[in-house]
Amino acid sequence: MKALIIEKPASITTAPLKMIEREIPKPSANQVLLKISKCGICHTDLHVVEGDLPPVKYPVIPGHQIVGQVLEIGDAVHNLKKSDRAGVAWLHRSCGTCRYCLKNMENLCDAPLFTGYSVDGGFAEYAIADADFTYKLPDGFSDLAAAPLLCAGIIGYRSFKLCRIKEGETLGLYGFGASAHIVLQIANYYNCKVFVFTRSEKHRTLAIELGAAWAGSSEEKPPVELASAIIFAPVGALYINALKALRKGGTVASAGIHMSPVPQFPYELLYHERIMLSVANSTREDARELLHHAVLIPIKTTVEVFPLSEANNALQLLKQGKINGAAVLEIE
């Protein structure tokens, strides 16, 4: 099969993803083999490629928003059958026995595996996945439209839950990429007023088209105080911008796995019971709830499509903030 691997992390400007030929992997008893149709591109893929995360496995095939067809199933698999359409997300498997797994916090598992980071992912023609962490995808979404739901959607949904927003309140989104364009639709569904902060004129236009109440730069003060905010761009200083815009008792959550250092700031910005938190990974329950919302709302994903061979270029455009909505690799 064709696959893109990253042997040693390097700047995306050096086109470090290399195309290789490799044998199609075999599923074990609890796994399925997927023939991949599409794979979404996420900021985390960029962090894996550029080495912003602690090294776990190199070489590795990145990609954790896999949409494909079940081609083979292991002997112990009962939840999926051959030819099912299925999706694979970032959480490849949790241990099931640590204190977090036992308390419905598998996103914080002490011994997790992550797709496209600690195990090979979806920038390839085939991938294996744990059946218990593979999701049947709802009808009504093309493979292309479904791919960004699998991380951008799921992590965005978890961030929306954790930022303690209530129905009808004001929500700030800092950065407007794949995840934010989905969260905006969820927030609108719950009658929240959404304020979008981004440098990109193109992203502001998309935000307004999708129903944002206001769009401006991250330096600007929104016209009203925010009850909650979510930071999507990997820039620590945005915590401070968000704290300045938050009302008393408000919460700011960061959805990213990696962020530049948060600069010092005066305690008064945090005082009055404002909360800063991070969102780490997601649970299978988050995935199921997001897919449920995708049908209910229904969520419309805006995608830019690239062939597998163009992944380096797509990641570079993502880094430059030039992708409108989500980037997706078309593999078949």
- Each residue 120-159 as x (binds Zn ion by CB under 5 A) or -, in order, gives -------------------------------x--------
318: contact with Zn ion by CB under 5 A: no
Stretch that binds Zn ion, among 41-49, 54-62, 120-128, 267-275 (CB under 5 A): 41-49
Q: Does 98 bind Zn ion (CB under 5 A)?
A: yes
Closer CB to Zn ion, 42 or 194, in the complex: 42
Binding of residue 255 to Zn ion (CB under 5 A): no
Helical pair 284-296 and 178-189, crossing angle rounded to 10 deg: 60
Q: Which helix (H) or strand (E) holds 162?
A: helix 152-162
Closer residue to Zn ion in complex, CB, 177/250: 177
Residue 327 interacts with Zn ion (CB under 5 A)? Answer: no
Residue bearing tokens 């914080």 = 108
Q: Which of 5, 101, 227, 326 binds Zn ion (CB under 5 A)?
A: 101
94 forms part of the interface with Zn ion (CB under 5 A): yes
Q: Does 95 bind Zn ion (CB under 5 A)?
A: yes
Closest of 30, 57, 37, 63 to residue 133, by C-alpha: 30
Give the span between the Cα atoms of 155 and 35, in whole angstroms: 24
At CA 178, angle to CA 310 and CA 205, rounded to 5?
105
Nearer CB in complex with Zn ion: 214/232: 232
Q: How far is the CB of 110 from Zn ion (least distance, A)?
A: 5
Task: Assess contact for 136 and 294: CB atoms under 8 A.
Answer: no
Closest CA to 113 of 94, 133, 89: 94
Nearest to 90 by CA among 27, 126, 135: 135
# of chain residues touching Zn ion (CB under 5 A): 8
Which residue's CB is nearer to Zn ion, number 151 or number 279?
A: 151
Q: How far is the CB of 124 from Zn ion (least distance, A)?
A: 17
List of residues contacting Zn ion (CB under 5 A): 42, 44, 94-95, 98, 101, 109, 151
